[in-house]
Amino acid sequence: MPDSIELREIKSSPITSEELKQIKKHFSSYEELFNKRAIKFRSMDASAFEDSDYQKLILSDYTFLKRPVLLLADKAFAGNSKSIVELMSLSIEGMRS
């Protein structure tokens, strides 16, 4: 179990393709990591998107990655919905116990 949590600002330090692949191992798809609320996404027709399209977009612009992302040994979370943030908080508290 990690002793600390690393906060990374991905705008100035973008994630690499390899890092994204490592993150994706904790999720079922790149689409699950994709921020569909991103302003740049609103003008796109995603009806024919495949998972590889989401991967490419996430790597092309940091705004396409759901944030925050929290990776733990046995759990992973992405996004800032109220329920996800609550689960993240509970998991972090559990690490401290």
> Where are the domains positioned within the chain?
17-96
Q: Which CATH superfamily is domain 17-96 in?
A: Glutaredoxin (3.40.30.10)
Q: Is pLDDT at 94 greater than 90 in this prediction?
A: no
Q: Is pLDDT at 61 greater than 70 in this prediction?
A: yes
List CB contacts of 49: < 8 A, sequence separation 6 or more. Answer: 31
Q: Is pLDDT at 97 greater than 80 in this prediction?
A: no
If one counts every other C-beta atom within 10 angstroms of the C-beta of residue 30, the result is 24
pTM as predicted: 0.87
What is the average pLDDT score of the chain? Answer: 92
Residue 90's pLDDT is 94
Q: How confident is the model at residue 27 (pLDDT cuts 50, 70, 90)?
A: very high
Crossing angle between the packed helical segments 51-60 and 17-24, to the nearest 10 degrees: 130
